[in-house]
Amino acid sequence: MSDLSRFPIAQRWPAQHPDRIQLYSLNTPNGVKASIMLEETGLPYEPHLVDITRNESHTPEFLSLNPNGKIPAIIDPDGPRGEPLALFESGAILMYLADKTGKFISTDPAQRWHTIQWVFFQMASIGPMFGQVGFFNKFAGKEYADKRPLRRYVDESKRLLGVLNGRLDGRDWIMGDDYSIADIATVGWVNNLITFYEARELVGYDAFASVGRWLNRALERPAVQRGLKIPSRD
């Protein structure tokens, strides 16, 4: 039996199955990267809902695992050398789980790094820009009289969709024939942009046909369908 008692987060969110990977998250575009990856790999895991609308990610217990106060975070009781490993940052979690399982990232060194660069493209560009569109289009930012911030982020999101569309032209997946962590990192954000953020027309989404086909292809995957709902408040 794995002992997670040295992790304060396990006191607030007790593990019923301490031998499984513990996922602390919510099904936001960042959170679902981890849940989709865990569903895709088939690794046993136990999800714990961290309700960011109640600032649960800023409690002392959560901050003990991620001092940045953001979901998702995990504890793998069977980490390197058999010792528990705690991780935050969704991109790092994707890379760790890919290496742990040998899935969704190439063993070819060049292809591996090309995959990682597209994960970083999502982390550095798509996530922050789409998130700003969501803020200014749906949340408190929509009340701002000055619409220049919204326009700025809409224009940049269109540009990024164009970059992604160009990459996907003639490809099933971001890395070509092989579904990878680059797709897993990106699918939740693109889906959220046109659903929850209600920005489909705003960003001219339907003009990016290759992105549309890619998203539909990804949403047909059972693991993606499950992961998008884990963990949910509903």
- For the stretch 182-218, pLDDT in tens is 999 999 999 999 999 999 999 999 999 999 999 999 9
Q: Please check the confidence at residue 1 and state whether its pLDDT lies above 80.
A: no
Out of 1.20.1050.10, 3.30.70.1230, 3.30.70.980, 1.10.10.10, the CATH code matching 109-225 is 1.20.1050.10
The domain spans of the chain are: 9-103, 109-225
> In this structure, which topology does domain 9-103 adopt according to CATH?
Glutaredoxin (3.40.30)
Task: Average the pLDDT over 7-36 and give the result.
Answer: 97
Instruction: Return the bridge partners of 48, or none.
Output: 24
Dist. CA 18–CA 5, nearest whole Å: 10
For the stretch 94-105, pLDDT in tens is: 999 999 999 999
pTM: 0.97
DSSP state of 123: I
CB 179 within 8 A of CB 36: no
Helices (H), the chain: 9-12, 31-41, 60-63, 90-101, 109-121, 127-137, 148-168, 181-194, 209-219, 222-227
